């Protein structure tokens, strides 16, 4: 099964079409850290991270991981071994906090872009997360919660995402 992100407003899984938003500056085949662009290509997806204090465990065949305040995702080019990986929060390492004050990461799936052998500076922290107003993201793909919950019922661990 494949999730298709056809343009900056449409995410499609089989016959289901959802409104989504992507990076503020569109999509690119030449992603760079902080460029506000969503990477083009076909990628695997990771496990589902969710906020148990805000949302009940969703119905999905993905592995579900409860987000804790110690969790982060490294976006620090000075730490190549940790770059674009899940980490325990460390003040010395720049990272994206997974437990946020806002709602955006109440549901979160990492897109495995620049993941297996990450190249520092080529982009990190590319997620499928939540939105309420479809404002452009910093490079992620975002859906409204009701659509996200439907998507979770459709996708499987081996689902790929194709971003045009």
Instruction: Name the average pLDDT for the chain.
Output: 97
pLDDT reported for residue 40:
98
**Alpha carbon distance 63, 77 (integer Å):** 28
Given a contact cutoff of 8 angstroms between Cβ atoms, the answer to whether 8 and 26 are in contact is yes
pLDDT reported for residue 57:
97
Phi/psi class of residue 63: alpha, beta or left (left: φ > 0; alpha: ψ in -120 to 50)? beta
Total number of domains constituting the chain: 1
Given a contact cutoff of 8 angstroms between Cβ atoms, the answer to whether 142 and 74 are in contact is no
**Alpha carbon distance 8, 21 (integer Å):** 6
- In the three-class reduction of DSSP (H, G, I as helix; E, B as strand; rest coil), residue 16 is classed as strand
C-alpha distance from residue 19 to each of 43, 75, 129 (Å): 20, 28, 13
Q: Report the length, in residues, of the chain.
A: 164
**In the chain, pLDDT over 90 holds for what percent of residues?**
99
Instruction: Please give the residue range of the domain that contains residue 33.
Output: 2-163
pLDDT reported for residue 60:
98
**In the chain, pLDDT over 70 holds for what percent of residues?**
100
Given a contact cutoff of 8 angstroms between Cβ atoms, the answer to whether 41 and 29 are in contact is yes
**Alpha carbon distance 143, 22 (integer Å):** 9
Given a contact cutoff of 8 angstroms between Cβ atoms, the answer to whether 104 and 84 are in contact is no
Q: Quick one: how far is CA 6 from the chain centroid? A: 16
- pLDDT, average across residues 5-33: 96
Assign residue 67 the CATH number of its domain. 2.40.440.10
- pLDDT, average across residues 112-129: 98
Given a contact cutoff of 8 angstroms between Cβ atoms, the answer to whether 82 and 74 are in contact is yes
| Model confidence, pTM | 0.96
């Amino acid at each position: 099964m494949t999730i298709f992100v056809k343009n900056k407003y449409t995410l499609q899984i089989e016959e289901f079409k959802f409104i989504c938003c992507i990076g503020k500056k569109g999509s690119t085949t030449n992603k760079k850290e902080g460029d506000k662009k969503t990477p083009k290509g076909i990628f695997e997806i990771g496990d589902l991270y969710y906020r148990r204090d805000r949302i009940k465990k969703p119905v999905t065949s993905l592995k579900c991981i409860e987000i804790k305040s110690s969790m982060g995702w490294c976006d620090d080019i000075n730490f190549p071994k940790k770059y674009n990986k899940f980490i325990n929060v460390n003040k010395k390492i720049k990272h994206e906090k997974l437990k946020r004050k806002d709602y955006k990461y109440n549901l979160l799936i990492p897109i495995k872009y620049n993941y297996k052998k990450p190249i520092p500076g080529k982009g990190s922290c590319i997620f499928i997360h939540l939105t309420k107003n479809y404002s452009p993201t910093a490079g992620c793909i975002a859906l409204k919660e009701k659509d996200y919950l439907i998507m979770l019922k459709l996708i499987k661990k081996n689902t790929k995402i194709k971003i045009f």
